[in-house]
Structure 1
Amino acid sequence: MKAGRVSVFGGPETVEIVDVPTPEPAAGEVLVKLRSAGLNRADLLIREGKFTEAPVPIVLGVEGAGEVAALGAGTVGFTPGDRVVLNPMVVCDACPACRAGRDSECPELQVVGEHFDGTYAEYISLPARNVLHAPEGLGDDRLAASIVACMTAWHMLKTRAQVRPGETVLVVGASSGVGSAAVQVAKALGARVIATTSTGRKEQQVRELGADEVINYRAVPDFHEQVRRLTGGIGADVAHETVGRATVQKSIHALRHGGRLVGMGSHTGHVAELDLWSIYRREITLIGCHTSNRAEIAEFLPLLADGTLRPVVDSVFPLERASDAQVRLAHPDRFGKVVLSIGG
């Protein structure tokens, strides 16, 4: 089968389309013929040698969608031809955390495309628990763009920050895959949404996703001051922060007394200098996030099916142009997810 693999670290040109063996489904596994694969920042970090847990060579790709091609021995619940989407978090399913449904706490947690070969490929074989029947109404490209962005935003806002109806949520960097999902999740939870983005075109796109107010952070670099003006001087209840060093202090300043900053991701740097007084004196809660679990995915899948949550696809490239797709992923003009189309 064809696969997009990295064997040496470097620029986009290091993503090579190569022939590799088609996997055979082991007992309890599902072989999926992939139709689409979603790109993520992790793909770039691995390619650049900044994700040391990844083995090399490795087939990139955290998320994907397609159809069931074959079943391993003892696998039930699927029929060849079923449309499916992948949960990329592979766990032991035996430890106390897994038995309690807290997948993210599994000591053996591994991620598709980060710890083993991923979805830039024509086929992938995964445990049946990682293969989900696709919600109706979404094409392959939007399916491939749906799970990681939605599961991250849902885990951050619903589970960890416990956003309540009527609260104000600031989404920093709303044009990313996770950011665009966070705007929609916050609205689905009944919140007022203030979002930041970088251009006039993106401002309109973010409003179309449901944001009540949008701040162009290039025109208004101190976006936290505008957040305070928009909230009558009080500040937001929750800040959804995935940008990292460049914005985290401003996100803290944007919060009300007793507000919550929920963070995951650090695209501009994972080490930041913070003003501790801005946290201590206003009793700010910092909430860290890693990943989601199966129960949370089950909570938001109906919202994908009924259109409440709409995966945002920026662009689609054929598998053969995976290196070009990575260039687009890093482009500042991107809005939403970049997707690979596989197998025509």
Structure 2
Amino acid sequence: MAIELKAASLNHLDLWLASGAQRMDPPRVICADGVGVVADSADPRWKSGDEVVVYPVACCWDCEYCRSGEQVKCEHFGILGEHVDGTACELLHVPGQNVYAKPARLAWHEAAAFPLTFLTAWRMLVTRARLRRGETMLVVGAGAGVATAAMVIGRQLGARVLATSRSPAKRAKAEALGAEATFESAGFAKSVRQFCGGVDVVFEHVGPATIDESMKSLRKGGRLVFCGATSGPKAELNLPRIFFNHLDLLGSTMGNAAEFEQVLSALDQGMRPLVDSSFPLAQVSDALRYLDGGEQFGKVVLDLDS
């Protein structure tokens, strides 16, 4: 089916693609997140003019994993904008299974700001880390889109939310978003343990620059869940710390269609994505430079509505 896109949003992945750090076969239309109106559909569930949001996963929809609802395990699994063309365009063609009704309470820019980051953070916290009401979670690197999503989801689930950032301004924004306490990024484990004795869950996306402090922030039996490695692909681990303290290390990426539906339900119940700024599509280079500067708090959105 064809979707006339109204807005898309950038992720750190787009920086890697634009810089050549992430290998792909060019040319490639970037961006995973997209929202718009149906322009043409052979799927009877949708008609022209319906407001929709795109599930940002590419898969075959027909293998044993896809049929059982485990799209992330599909042999042809990919992410829009990385493995196939993405949403930074005026017209997008996707299978009908990738299309869901846009949450009515969200404006176009807000609806473009949630798919990849909220889906990723939801699977990390709900499915993989099994975060429960009353537990304490630490979000490393507050300000990134996936980190702000994690804070919003953590609050929605009834957890105590803590966060780290090297930026005093971002720490203040994290507290305004609901973080109970925030900590300077350098050597944060000591401060975290002094504050609460250690956390149940650490939400990681930075990698080797913070992984050791994240491990030291966990209490016995704690879980570290991670989806990225923006500071590099390889990290050194203190193995005795892991097995003596019964810690879990949980990798995660993206999410299944059922998890995307859970995110949509939570948005209908009041959860809201955070938009930092927006740029017209013609200024996508400026938007990428702004994202690369690391000053954003929330998502950087591209305005596609001509």
TM range (shorter): over 0.9
Q: Deviations over 1:257-283 (max 9, x none)?
A: 111100111111111111112212212
Residue 247 of structure 1 and its aligned partner are, at CA, apart by 0.4
Contact 1:264 1:289 in 2 (8 A): yes
What's the Cα RMSD here?
1.1
Q: Does residue 1:264 correspond to 2:227, yes or no?
A: yes
- The runs of 4+ residues in structure 1 deviating greater than 3 Å are none
Give 1:180's aligned amino acid: T
Q: Which residue of 2 aligns with 1:243?
A: 206
Q: Is the 8 A contact 1:196 1:214 kept in 2?
A: yes
Q: Counterparts of 1:7-22 in structure 2 under 5 Å?
A: none
- Alignment of 1:31 with 2:2, yes or no, is yes
Task: Name 2:302's counterpart in structure 1.
Answer: 340
8 Å contact from structure 1 (residues 62, 118) kept in 2 = yes
Q: Quick check: 1:230 aligned with 2:192?
A: no
Partner of 2:15: 44
What's the CA shift for 1:76? 1.6
Q: Which residue is 1:63 aligned to?
A: 33
- 1:287 to 2:260 alignment: no
Tell whether 2:127 aligns with 1:159: yes
Asked whether 1:146 is paired with 2:117, we answer no
Is the Cα contact below 8 Å between 1:138 and 1:305 reproduced in 2?
A: no
Of 77, 101, 106, the residue aligned with 1:109 is 77
| Aligned-partner SS, 1:81 | coil
Residue type of the alignment partner of 1:333: E
Deviation for aligned residue 1:177: 0.5
Greater mean deviation of Cα atoms: 263-272 or 295-304: 295-304
Match of 1:316 among 278, 281, 287: 278
Give the drift of 1:297.
1.1
Q: TM-score, normalised by structure 2?
A: 0.97
Q: 1:128 matched to which residue of 2?
A: 96
Stretch moving more, 204-213 or 155-164: 204-213
Aligned residues, how many?
306
Structure 2 unpaired stretches of 5+ = none
Q: Aligned-pair distance for 1:182?
A: 0.3
Q: Distance in 1 between matches of 2:180 and 2:156?
A: 13
Q: Percent identity?
A: 40
**Deviations, residues 95-148 of structure 1 (Å, cap 9, x unaligned):** 111111111111111221111221111110000111111011111111111111
Instruction: Please list the CA deviations of residues 216-270 of structure 1 after superposition, one character each: whole Å capped at 9, or x if unmatched.
Output: 32xxx11011110111xx3101100001110011100000111110011111111
Q: How far does residue 158 in structure 1 lie from its aligned partner after superposition?
A: 0.3
CA offsets per residue over residues 280-325 of structure 1, 9 Å max, x none?
A: 2212110110220111111121221232x22111110000000000
By how many angstroms is 1:178 displaced? Answer: 0.5
Q: Could you tell me which amino acid in structure 2 is paired with residue 157 of structure 1? A: L
Distance in 1, Cα, partners of 2:45 & 2:136? 41
Once the two structures are superposed, the pairs formed by residues 64-79 of structure 1 within 5 Å of their partners are: 64-72=34-42, 75-79=43-47
Question: How many angstroms apart in 1 are the aligned matches of 2:119 and 2:212?
Answer: 25
Deviation at 1:37, TM superposition (A): 0.7
For 1:76, give the aligned amino acid.
P
Q: 1:96 aligns with which of 44, 52, 64?
A: 64
Q: Tell me the alpha carbon deviations over residues 50-96 of structure 1, each in whole angstroms, 9 at most, x when there is no partner.
A: 222x2201111111111111114xx1211111111111102111211
Matched to 2:195, the amino acid is L
Rg larger in structure: 1
So what's the TM-score if we normalise by structure 1? 0.87
